[in-house]
Amino acid sequence: MRWRKIKQKKHSGNKKSAQPKVRYADFKERAMAFTTDIFMIGIPITLIIMIAFGHDRMMDSAGGLDVILDPAEAKKHAPDPLASIVQIILYCVTFVLFWHASGQTPGKKMMEIKVVDANTFETASWGKLIVRFFAYFISAVTLVGFFTGMSRPDKRALHDLISGTAVIKV
């Protein structure tokens, strides 16, 4: 073998690819995972809130649709702000713990996808995951935020872009 070929083999073996080959999760997989999580995480948290703050008090308060359809009546039956804050904190803690532990909530595990840092494809930092959770609200309010991933090659939604995360296939 010629010296040049030996040298080329030696150097090509030492090269590390700049970015690993990843497959990004598409909108359908992410939506199915999110829907599953709403049931598997949302129902237990709602039950905890109902036990802690009382069923009657929770059922008498206005919901999001009440605010849209009849704002005057919704003001009379405003939700308990403390219950809402505790519920958001419980959601945040639960989702962020799942994402940090394995990158997967139960729904994401079912769909075989996970949340990672968009640059390193490793577990995202606590800060990025907390920002990601609150950026969900921006995506929800704009509604366009959830669909931005459909037009991007990396399939990252608005909350992923804001937090610097990505959802990839395992």
For residue 1, pLDDT beyond 70 = no
Listed as own residue / partner, the contacts of 100-105 with beta carbons closer than 8 Å and 24 or more positions apart are 100/124, 100/126, 100/129, 104/170, 105/33, 105/37, 105/40, 105/41
Structurally, the chain folds into a number of domains equal to 1
Mean pLDDT of 97-125: 96
Give the pLDDT confidence of 69-83 residue by residue, as tens digits: 777 877 777 777 888
- In this prediction, residue 153 carries a pLDDT of 92
Asked whether residue 164 is domain-assigned, the answer is: yes
The predicted model scores a pTM of: 0.80
pLDDT tens digits, one per residue of 122-170: 999 999 999 999 999 999 888 889 899 899 999 999 999 999 999 999 9
- Residues facing 166 on adjacent strands: 116
Tell me: pLDDT of 44 over 90.
Answer: yes
3-state secondary structure of 44: helix
Q: Is residue 151 part of a domain?
A: yes
> Is residue 40 included in any domain, yes or no?
yes
Which residues constitute the domain of residue 94?
23-169
Q: Is residue 4 part of a domain?
A: no
In a domain, 62, yes or no: yes
